[in-house]
Structure 1
Amino acid sequence: MALTSEQWGVRLRDRRAQLGLSQHQLAERAGISTRSIREIERGRAPSPHSRSLLRLIAALGLEADPTETDEVPGDADLLRVGVLGPLMLRVAGQTAEVGAAKARDLLGLLALQPGLSVGQDEIIDALWEGRPPASCLNLVHTYIARLRRILAPAHEPAQAGQASDGVLRRTRTGYLLHLAQGQSDAAEFTELAARAVADAPDEAFRQSGAGLRLWRGAVLCDASPQVREHPSAVALTRLRMSLVQAYADGALALGRPADALPELQKAADLDPLHEGVHARTMLALAASGQQAAALALFARLRTRLDDQLGVTPGPEVTEAHLRVLRMDLPRPAVTASATSLTPPALLPYDLPYFTGRDEQLTRLDALRPGPGTGICALTGAAGVGKTALAVHWAHRARDHFPDGQLFVDLRGYSPEAAPLRPVEALVRFLLALGVASERIPGTPEAAADLYRTLTAGRRMLVVLDNAVDVDQVRPLLPGGPGCLVLVTSRDRLAGLAVRDGAHRLPVDVFGAEESRLLLVRTLGRARVEAEPEAAAELADACGHLPLALRISAANLDHAPRRALRDQADELCEGDRLGLLSVAGDDESAVRTAFSLSYHALPAPVRRLFRLLALVPGPDIGVAAAAVLTCTASREAARLLEQLSAAHLIREHRRGRYRCHDLLMLYAAERLRLEEPDTAREAASARLYAWLLAAVNRCARLLYPGAQRMPGADDEPGEAPAPLVPLPDLADASAAARWLDVELPGLAAVVHRAAAEGHPAAWQLADGLRGCLWTQKYTVDWLAVGEAALTAARQAGRPLAEAAMHNLLGDAHHQQGRPDSSIAHYEQLLRLAEAADWVDGAATAHNNISIVAQNSGRLRLAAEHLDHAMTLDQRNGLPHGHPSVLVNLGHTLRDLGRLREALDCYRRAEKLLPTMGSQVVQVLNAADLAELHHLLGEPAQTRRRLENLLPLAHEVGYQDLESLTLRLAARVRCDTGDLAGALEAVRAAAVLGEEDGDGTGRTHTRLDLGGVLLAVGRREEAAAAFEEALAAARTSGARNIEARALLGLASVTFPTDRKLATAALELARSSEYRLVENEALTVLARCELEHGKPAGAVEYARQALAAHRETGYRKGQAEALDILGRATAATADADPVPYWSQALAILDALGAPEATALRHRIAGQG
């Protein structure tokens, strides 16, 4: 039970007296005001603020009962997320359990950066350490949904007239955790650390102590390594270490060394080799009268440094050791008067039309000013606006640096002069700081020492623009806390982050809206809004590169009558790099900016950059780079890393690199100028051959039974690139993962090869055909097929033409165009028969049957399947091809010949392990489970279903996952597990949403409607059936159309006779016997509900006979039940025999309707 305010007052007062603390001392220790403690101890605070209370509990070493704080209102009680230790989550005053480790990691990752968007790529890399499963996006959505449910009680209702987006929000690129003040310990700690940089030493000491007491352990110490070692977690740890040192300095200066020892010990445990922490620990121990302990600590540290690093203690530890020996210990500081020097203000002119960069500006704001010397490196490619961003933010933040702002252009990439030497920059800085020129030291080391001395204890901003490398930057880092260094560079400056704790803030090209805004601010809103499409195309042509956009805008500004459309067309059709320049200012040209970066690279790196122009896809991996350069993968990775460090390419995910469009144009230009034709052609040929060998290997693993062009399965006679082995693909899952990454690039290679008339165009397209069903929307398959078909036709390759018609038939079928699909399959059949390609002809018949079956032409489907079976048997397959057997089973099932269909599936099951793909194996297993369910065999159904979903998930084919979930939903619904059915069909709907508007999504809407109808949610069911009906009519799926009509007929009461009759007529005309029988059952129920029992008897008898003929057991039970009720209504016969037969069936099926029917029979008796 929660304590009252009076009880809290007594408990706190007694504990404080026990420890011998005054109220003032406790206030300093807890980081709250003395007045708050006084009011709480007197029992005058009816609702003490929970944060204050928790701080008092921690400061006094009391045990907190969660029930003692859950009455306190406020944002912190509504929600509190802690990352300064193990992940902690409190929602509405209660500790919340997140559950799954991945969900905890995701929450921790978002909580590390509250209020900032975390991209999906970053989330996936953090959760799966660069090896995500094929369904990683689905899993992320699942974790997000789980977290939203947990966080729901913390979602405050919206104010009147305002929207409320919740705590966990979707952004354009990912997700962000929106936390109010006091809801994040990380944000609170950062705020306290910033406040600790204060003029008054005692106030700074108090704020530092309050911030450090928020820590419960290492950042997210219970999370996975990828999250624990996230840059934001590392930054918090570094800030903690800086604050510990500042806190220790304050304690020593105030004569309170013992207060610093606990925090210093925690920091030493966290980083046993941190010399700054150990130096202060030694001084604090000695100042507390423990000189022997201080000397022993020095001895232990010296041994540890020697054993682990092979070094001796540095100057800071050595000086502290000498001071301990001499007992030259710190004394309380005396405030010195400030100098009268005018603070330097060297910032250059700020852009009048600075645009965008809101996220970067927010991150920079979070850095000002900290307890230590902060360093932030703005890194990015030439022309992205690093300098503009640095100067704009510096002007915006200058008031936070009252001791001055220093700026220097280090000329890292200048066409006219060599990079500025650090000593030259130091001289400029010392002069700006008031040092007379004759007093500037003569050596770089001495100048750097004086610079650090003058900046120590000041709050200054230092902007180091256009740095070439870390060696140019390090001598210019100021001394002491309170300063912030802002560096811009085309280099990644990795060493500055590793050794000096710099925050790296990447600066990329603009987004579409930022580009539009720049044009509006430069050219005027009216001019841009008059041609919005041309403005967007102009921004695309500039690659959204700020430099290119400003050049185009400047040229348009000088030609006010010129249309944006003319400028955009000229850039798209002409020499884009040449046009992106300003007359009389060569330095502002895009080509010049790129050239400076390019020519600064070693020759092998420049050659790889040129060869990247041969890769048409959106990115490139290490293996492809190695193939292009004829080097080993390790060497190629090194070259790519150097290009990435120079920001000529960007590693957008582990081992995958992208190049900006304009940079790719520049690479193509250098390729034409520097690489001989023979070398270019040889590199392209190597790449095509290597990719084709890899694709063929994937196809053999993923689709072993798929029909390929003759000769496609032959292994190459020699390795396409001897130094680069093909991908290590141990199984089908590995092959699927490789294709997931490479597929967009492979599609682009098909287009490039087709334009060149290279055989790789149709060979690659043929190898990728199986991906069409598992990666429907990753690439434009119609465009891929048409390009390869045109190339094959122009080359006079009829078998290649036939194979491309096969691909195009699949593509049209997948997009719901049955007539176009059949036309391409007929072309395949014609060409295959002309070339005596028996396998191709059999494939054509099989594929035509699939389309015919889906569009309601079952007799035609059966005829083509007979032809396919005959050709397969003539071609050495006495038992037929498993794919043909599976499709024959589908056709027989829809015709109502369930036992024959089951026999086909069983025959296919025996052949598939050696002849079929994993996809077809799982599909056949699902078909078998469905047949057992329809035939009333629940034990076999359960056995088949148990392993079905894991198998479908393993294959990585979302349509299969959705199909198995829908089947599970129908089975659960029929056996009374309505909650489980709803969960399964909703999971299928999630997959369907991500998979687009295909047939699978239409099936899902149909099944969702059925489950919603079963649970009594008729309006929602009607909406689902309406969606399914519209989609079915668009795609020509008459089976789904008839079922959707039956669903809509059933959501009303009484049942809609017109809709049910329309469904019956459609099913009969389409030969869908199962749907026809279902329609008879619905019409029987309809007649009964409309008070026409005689009509119900007639329809029910027809339905019963039809269901008995097909073997559909649940349908027999439904018809018998209706027949009994209609007979009872007419009083013509005894209904009990009908109901008894129905009851026997329902009991055998485990159907929930058996209970009600049993009661009805009992009542009749």
Structure 2
Amino acid sequence: MRDSHRAEAERLLARAVEEEVRRSGGSSDAGTLLARGRAALDSMAASAGEEYAAYEQALTEAEAGQQPLSQRFSRETLGAPVLVTAVAAVAAIGADIALGTATGTALGAGAVVAVAGAATTVAKVTAAHWPAAHRRAGALAQPGGVDQLRLQWLTALDVRGIRPFLDQQRMLAASARPAKKASVVPQLRGTDRSAAARRRSVLEQSFGHLPHPGGPFAGRRSQMAQITQWVHAARAATQTLPVVVVLHGDPGSGRTTLAVRAAHDLKDLFRGACVVDLRGDGEQPLPTRDALLHLLNRLGAPREQLLFRERASAEQQVRRLSELYHQYLTGLPVTVVLDDASDPDQVRTLLPERSDSLVLVTARAPLDLPDDIPARVHQLPVEALDAAGAEELLRAAAAPSSPGPYDVRSTEEVRELCGGLPLALRTAGSSLGERSADRLAADLRALGPLDPVERALRLRYTDQPEQARRLLRRLALAGRASLGPAAAAALLATDEKEAQRLLAALSEAGLIDHVRSGRYRLHDAVRRFARNRLMDEEDAADRGAAQERLIRNYAELAGAVIRMVDGKMSTRAGQFGAYGFPSLDAALRWLDDESSFITSALRHAEGVDQQAVLGLLGALCDYCLLRGDLYRLGEISELTQAVDQGLLERSVRWRTGIAARQLGELDKARTTLSSVVGLYREAHHDAGAALALCSLGITLHHQGNLTEAAAKLHEAIALQDSQEQAEDRAWSLHALAAVERDRANPAEALRLLERALALHREGESLHGEAWSQFQLGQVFLRTGDVPAARTALEVALDLYGRTRDGRGEAWALTQLARARLVDGDPAPAVDDLRQALARHRENEDARGEAWTLYYLGQALEESGDRDQAVRELERARTMFSRMRDVYGLACARHHSGRVTRDQLAARTGSLRNSGFARQLLVDARADFARIGVAHGEAWTCLELAMIDAGNSRAPQALELCDEAAALFASYGDERGGDWARFLRCTLLPYASPGGIEVGTVVSQEELSRLMAAGHASRDAKLEDCAEALAVMLERGVRLEDGWQAWQLGLVPNRHAREVMGVAVEAGR
């Protein structure tokens, strides 16, 4: 800008400042405004840059065509006249001298001629200049001339530069006035008791896993009293140390029974209990690592530690698990029974050192524990029963109709032949119903010099018929877990009724222990005896055939149970019928009872048909996922890795990836499932690859990678086009529907769910139908159809209950509570969400917990508790961040930023100082843009626009509204587009280039067009807001008041974003 022009612009600015000071009644400081205006003059001039450029160009052209009077006396102009005048003067002088005139006179005449010529030339040039100058002056005054362009430039500078600048300064001055401080009542922050409640529940359930204390218990009351006394003495002490009682005695002396009885009798003093079979000296001892994993599982430690068993060195794993174990049990008194221990170092590792726990160690001999062990150690021998105790036990074990009189001598001889050991006495005493004490003593004596337990077992073994003896022998093939009639029937190739009868007979003979209804277990000594008899009396072919039948029968039964849940999946092709189960509930109860036995049997499945093993493994893995039993899934994964057979390992690794996703370990799940897809493709197993691709797509969806998730699911569906894979395809379809819902395609989601539901019903998959109904309910919530959503979600909840899917039930409860929130009923929604949150924590479903916290924060906001809402949203944001769930993180950031902004605004009375909230929203927008979620990005733009408008950045806010409108239009969201256009109308008076008057007129025109274009999905609140804005614009807007839409409530609320205004008629 030329100096002259800058001076002219400053004079215009000075006049405008004087006018502003007069308008404000002297409240504005002229010097400050003028100084700020001069500093911002270049930016103001830029707003009129086009007019100034035209003026400058015209001025330059005019100056180029203008010729001043001095330029007319140039050499070019005066050359000819001067030459003519000079020639005439010389000619005059020459002529006069030639005629005889005196030289002086001649020179005078020549001078007169020269002067006359010069005067004539000057007169001619001047006469030619003045008319041209007058013509140029007239042209300047004509329309479109340079002077008019100058006026246009000054007008544009005033309207688009100086006036908006003064309006902005007026708004800044108004916002800088001290606001009335609102009284804020501090909120008391309560503690979160849900995690503690879950821990308490798991510990209480741990007592139910102890062996049942029923049966005769004689001769051990003094030892029980001694243990109780030591525990009470430790509780009275000031130092927190565990009590360690080493119960040492011969096998069969009742060490384990005494320890278990003590755990039951003292349960009121402890929070939980667990029995670990360390497997002593007679067979391969249980590794310390496996013992720690078992303890952590039973006592409720985080399950990701139980699923992912890194293939590091054994020492490193033991160190890591030991640290976790001691940290978890710090200050937590529990009872730990270490059964059949032999290694003092292992016992020390398993001691919960920083708690008032009771550790009952059973061993064959006293354990020499280190002197520096941080515990109160007691050695308690468990010796042979005395005469009174043996007599009591024999009476309890004998049949009620025991013949003959009481025989003291024979009873004492029986005690001596049985070594006073409870196991031998109980086993031998069970025959007193059919023989007298004297005969019993004689029969025992006739067996010769044997071990007392061996003698009693051999006696009762020979008493049984061959079928019962064969069953006892083959029960040694079943491992250490309890078993029922199904296993016995498979081992004998008979029916379950006959197997149940034989089990009951063996239990009455004292050869097997009755655990609970229909379940039996072998004592370690009996198992060794049965194994010896099996090796001696049956050949390898018979043993292998029995093992094969056991695995095959259980594979069919377990597969049938899972098929009743998941339907006709390709993994269980050809399996039909309920195999005698009267109901799904009865089938699931059977699998609950048998799961431990199946795991134990799989450890001894060498040489068995691999297809049967694969079926049994798959069914057991699906059961673990359904029940959330990730400890057992970790065991199975470890077992298959040790076997290193491709098909088995792929099947189990696929389920392990799904379990990792349920725990919220999304990166690990993605890596695992990607590797499984590769393994199935290498094996050219398309059905397995498709199922793994479906699981991978769901994992990518949970990470927020919607585009890639949709691609993987489409790829899976393409591989599942055969009729045999219809049920597999249904699972992929409803997973794809969830992705399309989040990609703002509800019509496509509804279409996919209709197909999925039809296929699930055709495939008889209750579980698949439950998840499809669950997804359907979420789509209806997205479109604002709350009654339909509730119906679908209630159906899903009922189906989850029938399949005993606790994780699914928790998700359904979360979405039902969300339905109440969408329906405008936040108070009950808060209660329901808290209940669902406890269920998710009980299932250790990190993702379910995070999303429930997210909805809980919104419900608390609607209830008016913004402080607690911010805390819950921040917890959700932290969990999403830890899980690497970009979509969840973006949503949590969006609402956390929005509520934080509202929280600060409620305290300060304005939207200023919203920097942290704005940063959260900026991050949320970046996340939404990165994963391609236009719906979230558009609404985040509107929230940012409100913050910018409240901070006197109306032009930036207007630009954000335009960007939001474009994003809403990209996927056809008319509801969101309405709010973007409406907010634009509220901003135009403050951001229009023509100033407040022009902006008000434009705003009124756009508002009238907005209200004229009605549609079905319009938010009811927007119509009320539009009426209020129309009245406000009609009365006039005062810039001193600033952007008033926020204070007047003319902005979208949380519910406006909840419903997506996209047409769904095509999908219904």
Residues 260, 337 of structure 2: 8 Å contact kept: no
Residues 807, 845 of structure 2: 8 Å contact kept: no
Within 5 Å, give how 1:428-443 maps onto structure 2: none
Question: Does residue 1:1080 correspond to 2:923, yes or no?
Answer: no
| Counterpart Cα distance in 2 of 1:662 and 1:1117 | 79
Of 339, 348, 356, the residue aligned with 1:532 is 348
Partner of 1:1066: 927
Give the residue type in structure 1 aligned to 2:554: L
Question: Does residue 1:703 correspond to 2:575, yes or no?
Answer: no
In structure 1, the residue corresponding to 2:365 is in which secondary structure?
A: helix
Aligned CA distance change for structure 1 residues 533 and 834 (closer, same or farther; 3 Å): closer
| Counterpart Cα distance in 1 of 2:220 and 2:820 | 70
| Counterpart Cα distance in 1 of 2:453 and 2:947 | 75
Of 737, 742, 762, the residue aligned with 1:914 is 762
Larger Rg: 2
Within 5 Å, give how 1:329-728 maps onto structure 2: 350=222, 354-356=226-228, 383-384=254-255, 513=335, 532-533=348-349, 548-549=362-363, 551-553=364-366, 556=368, 595=454, 598-599=457-458, 601=460, 602-603=463-464, 608-616=471-479, 618-642=481-505, 644=507, 651-658=514-521, 668=531, 671-672=534-535, 676-708=539-571, 713-714=573-574, 727-728=579-580
Of 921, 933, 938, the residue aligned with 2:781 is 933
| Counterpart Cα distance in 2 of 1:644 and 1:1062 | 67
Aligned CA distance change for structure 1 residues 788 and 1049 (closer, same or farther; 3 Å): same
After TM superposition, give the deviation of residue 922 of structure 1 in Å: 2.0
After TM superposition, give the deviation of residue 973 of structure 1 in Å: 1.0
Deviations 1:651-697 (A, max 9, x none): 55432345566765665566556655444333222211110111222
Residues 806, 828 of structure 1: 8 Å contact kept: yes
Of 790, 815, 831, the residue aligned with 1:967 is 815
Give the residue type in structure 1 aligned to 2:348: P
**Greater CA drift, 644-653 or 697-706:** 644-653
> Relative contact order: is structure 1 or structure 2 higher (C-alpha 8 Å, sep ≥ 6)?
2
Cα RMSD, aligned residues only: 5.5
Give the residue type in structure 2 aligned to 1:173: E
Of 196, 200, 204, the residue aligned with 1:173 is 204
Aligned CA distance change for structure 1 residues 714 and 1040 (closer, same or farther; 3 Å): same
Of 1093, 1099, 1121, the residue aligned with 2:960 is 1099
Aligned CA distance change for structure 1 residues 885 and 387 (closer, same or farther; 3 Å): closer
| Counterpart Cα distance in 1 of 2:943 and 2:524 | 60
Deviations 1:843-876 (A, max 9, x none): 3433332222222333322333333333334788
Within 5 Å, give how 1:149-168 maps onto structure 2: none
Question: Does residue 1:745 correspond to 2:597, yes or no?
Answer: yes
| Counterpart Cα distance in 2 of 1:938 and 1:1095 | 37
Aligned CA distance change for structure 1 residues 350 and 1137 (closer, same or farther; 3 Å): same
Give the residue type in structure 2 aligned to 1:1058: Q
After TM superposition, give the deviation of residue 915 of structure 1 in Å: 3.8
Within 5 Å, give how 1:62-73 maps onto structure 2: none
Residues 765, 785 of structure 1: 8 Å contact kept: no
After TM superposition, give the deviation of residue 822 of structure 1 in Å: 4.3
After TM superposition, give the deviation of residue 913 of structure 1 in Å: 1.6
| Counterpart Cα distance in 2 of 1:1143 and 1:586 | 100
Partner of 2:280: none
After TM superposition, give the deviation of residue 832 of structure 1 in Å: 4.2
Question: Does residue 1:787 correspond to 2:818, yes or no?
Answer: no
| Counterpart Cα distance in 1 of 2:942 and 2:712 | 32
Residues 751, 787 of structure 1: 8 Å contact kept: yes
| Counterpart Cα distance in 2 of 1:386 and 1:738 | 27
Deviations 1:925-946 (A, max 9, x none): 2222222322334454344345
Q: What residue ranges of structure 2 are gaps of 5+ in the alignment? A: 1-195, 208-212, 233-250, 263-332, 380-416, 425-450, 905-913, 1035-1068
After TM superposition, give the deviation of residue 784 of structure 1 in Å: 1.6
| Counterpart Cα distance in 2 of 1:927 and 1:563 | 54
Residues 338, 359 of structure 2: 8 Å contact kept: no
After TM superposition, give the deviation of residue 978 of structure 1 in Å: 0.8
Question: Does residue 1:896 correspond to 2:748, yes or no?
Answer: no
Residues 259, 360 of structure 2: 8 Å contact kept: no
Identical columns (%): 22
Of 1015, 1020, 1026, the residue aligned with 2:868 is 1020
Aligned CA distance change for structure 1 residues 828 and 754 (closer, same or farther; 3 Å): farther
After TM superposition, give the deviation of residue 351 of structure 1 in Å: 5.2
| Counterpart Cα distance in 2 of 1:1021 and 1:1051 | 8
Partner of 2:616: 764
Aligned CA distance change for structure 1 residues 996 and 1143 (closer, same or farther; 3 Å): farther
Aligned CA distance change for structure 1 residues 1124 and 1103 (closer, same or farther; 3 Å): same
In structure 1, the residue corresponding to 2:227 is in which secondary structure?
A: coil
| Counterpart Cα distance in 2 of 1:1058 and 1:804 | 44
**Greater CA drift, 682-691 or 626-635:** 626-635
Residues 813, 821 of structure 1: 8 Å contact kept: yes
| Counterpart Cα distance in 2 of 1:1116 and 1:617 | 66
TM (norm. structure 1) is 0.47
| Counterpart Cα distance in 1 of 2:618 and 2:864 | 49
Aligned CA distance change for structure 1 residues 933 and 1094 (closer, same or farther; 3 Å): farther
Give the residue type in structure 1 aligned to 2:573: D
| Counterpart Cα distance in 2 of 1:927 and 1:348 | 59
Partner of 1:57: none
Deviations 1:963-1006 (A, max 9, x none): 22222222211221112322332232122012114322322222
Q: What residue ranges of structure 1 are gaps of 5+ in the alignment? A: 1-164, 177-230, 233-346, 361-379, 392-510, 538-542, 569-583, 717-724
Aligned CA distance change for structure 1 residues 966 and 622 (closer, same or farther; 3 Å): same
Residues 986, 1008 of structure 1: 8 Å contact kept: yes
Residues 252, 423 of structure 2: 8 Å contact kept: no
| Counterpart Cα distance in 2 of 1:853 and 1:671 | 54
Aligned CA distance change for structure 1 residues 946 and 1128 (closer, same or farther; 3 Å): farther
| Counterpart Cα distance in 2 of 1:610 and 1:847 | 44
Deviations 1:565-585 (A, max 9, x none): xx99xxxxxxxxxxxxxxx99
| Counterpart Cα distance in 1 of 2:956 and 2:561 | 59
In structure 2, the residue corresponding to 1:780 is in which secondary structure?
A: helix
| Counterpart Cα distance in 2 of 1:1095 and 1:731 | 64
Within 5 Å, give how 1:759-1158 maps onto structure 2: 759-777=611-629, 779-788=631-640, 791=643, 793=645, 802-873=650-721, 881-915=729-763, 917-938=765-786, 940-1053=788-901, 1054=904, 1056-1090=917-951, 1092-1110=953-971, 1115=976, 1119=980, 1126=987, 1132-1133=999-1000, 1134=1003
| Counterpart Cα distance in 2 of 1:748 and 1:606 | 22
| Counterpart Cα distance in 2 of 1:778 and 1:660 | 28
After TM superposition, give the deviation of residue 895 of structure 1 in Å: 2.5
Residues 648, 663 of structure 1: 8 Å contact kept: yes
Give the residue type in structure 2 aligned to 1:936: G
Partner of 1:297: none
Normalized per residue, the structure richer in helix is 2
| Counterpart Cα distance in 2 of 1:884 and 1:897 | 17
Alignment length (residue pairs): 650
TM (norm. structure 2) is 0.51
Aligned CA distance change for structure 1 residues 348 and 874 (closer, same or farther; 3 Å): closer
| Counterpart Cα distance in 2 of 1:600 and 1:863 | 69
Residues 726, 759 of structure 2: 8 Å contact kept: no
Residues 797, 809 of structure 2: 8 Å contact kept: yes
Residues 975, 1149 of structure 1: 8 Å contact kept: no
| Counterpart Cα distance in 1 of 2:664 and 2:745 | 26
Residues 773, 796 of structure 2: 8 Å contact kept: yes
| Counterpart Cα distance in 1 of 2:261 and 2:723 | 72
| Counterpart Cα distance in 1 of 2:628 and 2:888 | 21
In structure 2, the residue corresponding to 1:947 is in which secondary structure?
A: helix
Give the residue type in structure 1 aligned to 2:925: L
